[in-house]
Amino acid sequence: MSSFKSGYVGIIGKPNVGKSTLLNQLVGQKLAIVSEKPQTTRTRIQGILTKPNYQIILVDTPGVHSPKDQLHAFMQSQITETVEGVDLLLFLVAVDEKLDEEDRLALKTINKENKPTILVVNKIDLDKTNAEKLRSQLSLLSQFCATQLISALEGIGCQELLNKIITQLPEGPQYFPEDTLTDRNERFFVGELVREQVYRLTQQEIPYSVAVVTEEVKERSPELTYVKAVIYVERDSQKKILIGTNGIKLKEIGQTARKEVEQLLQKKVYLDLWIKVKKNWRKDPVALKQLGLK
Ligand code: GDP
Ligand code: MG
């Protein structure tokens, strides 16, 4: 009889290398929001993959970068905690990017903990020519137990990566019931879907100044669920931009987010969106706590 394997697997790498896309691809569900803007992921999210002979708990993290404010410091601490708490690490790089200081910073954090680490070179759908160079440069900086080239977007190499993950995992218990997909609740995902639309539909500094809190999810009737979400910004001027001329921007955010939330809840949704100003919340420890970011 074959034994059951299980473990926590941390996904580490710079912003935008495709960590959240990989999590979604491996779990087969959109758990983490993805955008072309760096630093979309703020908190750790677990995605759980259960099969008859294994359970993998994937931990998506915010990108590694040097801390600039309290929010950044929080995001960095999420990475350090992840590295400490997992059985295995996936270190992700994108094939179209050069090695830089942030990669070195990430590897430093990793090397300190001495955890088995798989090097994952992502986005090979774009161009594979740089992959070998990246791999040899990286192998000078850290010891990897395996390497895998993938396209998280197209699923190329993902089954092979899964096999390598399983090989590395220890024998262990099934930590979660087999139908559990994530450690996060419905409200968290509703908030993230709204935040994703803000990222998609606004420019410059706005996305980074936004936090979303879902205050209410209530079934009004078997057909309709009422959802109240508050979008927090840091300044009045940002509130104005988010509302837009005659409310057009907010309407657009609300309409697209509602469709996403309906997909998630598998119900018709009335999405009640509010915008509030919380002055400089990114620098305010109390506000960060209230927003679930500390
Ligand atoms: P994260 O910041 O590391 O979590 O990166 P995301 O998962 O949010 O992805 C950042 C951007 O890269 C998004 O626009 C993704 O669609 C894109 N991306 C992710 N994986 C791939 C891939 O395998 N190939 C290509 N071409 N793009 C990808
Ligand atoms: Mg991400």
Report pLDDT digits (tens) over 225-256. 999 999 999 999 999 999 999 999 999 999 99
DSSP-H helix ranges across the chain: 19-27, 70-85, 101-113, 131-141, 158-168, 186-201, 236-243, 248-265, 285-290
| pLDDT at residue number 80 | 82
The residue that leads in pLDDT, 53 or 41, is 53
Spatial CA neighbour of 90 closest among 131, 120, 113, 112: 120
Is the confidence at residue 64, as pLDDT, over 70?
A: no
pLDDT in tens, 118-142: 999 999 999 888 899 999 999 999 9
What residue segments make up the domains of the chain, in order of their start? 5-168, 186-290
**What pTM, to 2 d.p., does this model score?**
0.83
CA 13 to ligand 1: nearest atom: 3
CA 23 to ligand 1: nearest atom: 7
CA 92 to ligand 1: nearest atom: 3
Q: How many angstroms is it from 163 CA to the middle of ligand 1?
A: 22
* Measured distance CA(203)–CA(128) in Å, rounded: 31
Residue 282: helix, strand or coil by DSSP? helix
DSSP-assigned states of every residue in 118-157: EEEEE-TTT--TTHHHHHHHHHHHS--SEEEE-BTTTTBT
Distance of CA 57 to the CA centre of its chain: 14
* Measured distance CA(164)–CA(142) in Å, rounded: 18
Q: How many angstroms is it from 19 CA to the middle of ligand 1?
A: 7
Class of domain 186-290: alpha beta
| pLDDT at residue number 62 | 74
**5-168 CATH:** 3.40.50.300
| pLDDT at residue number 220 | 93
CA distances from 194 to 168, 213, 225, 261, 284 (A): 37, 9, 16, 8, 22
H/E segment holding residue 229: strand 224-233
Q: How many angstroms is it from 220 CA to the middle of ligand 2?
A: 33
Mean confidence (pLDDT) of the chain: 90
Q: Identify which of 82, 102, 153, 200 to mutate to test ligand 1's pocket (most ligand atoms within 8 A of the CB).
A: 153
Percent of the chain with pLDDT over 90: 61
Q: How many angstroms is it from 152 CA to the middle of ligand 1?
A: 7
Percent of the chain with pLDDT over 70: 96
Residue type, 187: R
pLDDT in tens, 242-293: 999 999 999 999 999 999 999 888 899 999 999 999 999 988 888 888 887 7
Nearest ligand, CA of residue 25?
1
The answer to whether the 5-168 and 186-290 domains have the same CATH topology is no
**Residues in contact with 1: Cβ distance below 8 Å, sequence separation at least 6, in sequence order:** none
Ligand 1 cavity residues, CB under 6 Å: 13, 15-21, 34-36, 40-41, 63, 122-123, 125-126, 151-153
Q: How many angstroms is it from 21 CA to the middle of ligand 1?
A: 6
DSSP-assigned states of every residue in 235-277: SHHHHHHHH-GGGHHHHHHHHHHHHHHHHHHTSEEEEEEEEEE
